[in-house]
Copies of this chain bind each other. A is one copy, B any other.
Amino acid sequence: MCKRLRSVRGMPRDTLTREQIVRTAVELLDAEGLEGLNMRALGQRLGSAATAVYWHVQNKDNLVLLATDHVWGELALPDLEAVGWRTAATAMATDLYAMFIRHPWLVQALAAHVLYGEGKARHDDHSFAVYEAAGFTGARADQAAAAVFTYVLGNAAGAAATASLTRRLTRDGAIAEEHFQAAMAEAQQIAMGYPHLRARLETPAATEYTAAADKAFEFGLHALLDGLEQQIAA
């Protein structure tokens, strides 16, 4: 949207930078999702031709990779000495989850490409430290960290799917809303054919379930950390 400032006399020309491109790409990704990111739109937002980006970045895949690693930097690393491993672990997982919610496209990116950069390394290192502090040694600490990470990632996948749906709904308006209602009705129809799902739909406390869904992340995280704690004791 915002055109870059034209250079003032005597100043170096105001060119694009990789940093700026990546930041703008993240903005676009947040707003439009992974399939909403395209080079022409990015160019427009940068106030330059779409193809100008290619001087700074190999290709779109590479750009997504850079964007992915960029957002990793947003994560805070709790002070392990101050709070103890379990609090630190919970904080990191919750923080990570929040980041995935802020950037739902991330999950898709992670499922599509193996990626490793500065930001992820920084996070991994601290994560590893946390589970070592918990009492896991060597490869075991790795497994524990991986378990929590994948748990968070899996939770985020659901959220990403919902985010994509919501975006479509708000973008396409009434037509999409109708489709959505129809899909919901069909889903309900299907669910009624299975005893447990049916019971869930028919319980008077149906709202209890939607409330519980919001708490599902914390619940599972808690259970997982409990389980890990138990492994240490054994």
**A112: CB under 8 A from chain B?**
yes
Check A162/B114 contact, CB under 8 A, given A107-B157, A219-B147, A220-B143: yes
On chain B, the residues within 8 Å of A208 by CB distance are 138-139
Q: Judging by beta carbons under 8 Å apart, are B222 and A187 in contact? A: no
0/1 interface trace, chain A 189-233, chain B, CB 8 Å (1 if under) = 011011111001001010011011101100110111111101100
- A158 CB contact (under 8 Å) in B117, B150, B197: B150
**A73: CB under 8 A from chain B?**
no
**Cα–Cα distance between A151 and B158 once the two chains are bound (Å):** 11
Number of A residues whose C-beta is below 8 Å from B? 75
Check A132/B196 contact, CB under 8 A, given A146-B220, A152-B154, A157-B157: yes
**A122: CB under 8 A from chain B?**
yes
Q: Judging by beta carbons under 8 Å apart, are B116 and A190 in contact? A: yes
- A228 CB contact (under 8 Å) in B146, B156, B223: B223
**A165: CB under 8 A from chain B?**
yes
On chain B, the residues within 8 Å of A19 by CB distance are none
Majority SS of interface residues in chain A? helix
**A79: CB under 8 A from chain B?**
no
CB distance from A165 to the nearest CB of B (A): 5
**Cα–Cα distance between A62 and B156 once the two chains are bound (Å):** 23
Q: Judging by beta carbons under 8 Å apart, are A121 and B200 in contact? A: no
**A32: CB under 8 A from chain B?**
no
On chain B, the residues within 8 Å of A114 by CB distance are 161-162, 164-165
Which one of A4-12, A37-45, A123-131, A170-178 is at the B interface?
A: A123-131
Closest to A222 in B: B227
A residues at B contact (CB < 8 Å): 34-35, 107-108, 110-118, 121-122, 124-125, 128-129, 132, 138-140, 142-144, 146-158, 160-162, 164-165, 183, 186-187, 190-191, 193-197, 200, 203, 205, 208-209, 211-213, 215-216, 219-220, 222-228, 230-231
Besides the known contacts A108-B108, A113-B164, 18 further A-B residue pairs in the complex with CB atoms under 8 A apart: A107-B157, A111-B160, A112-B161, A115-B161, A116-B186, A116-B187, A121-B193, A121-B197, A124-B194, A139-B212, A143-B220, A146-B213, A147-B216, A148-B220, A150-B155, A153-B158, A223-B230, A224-B224
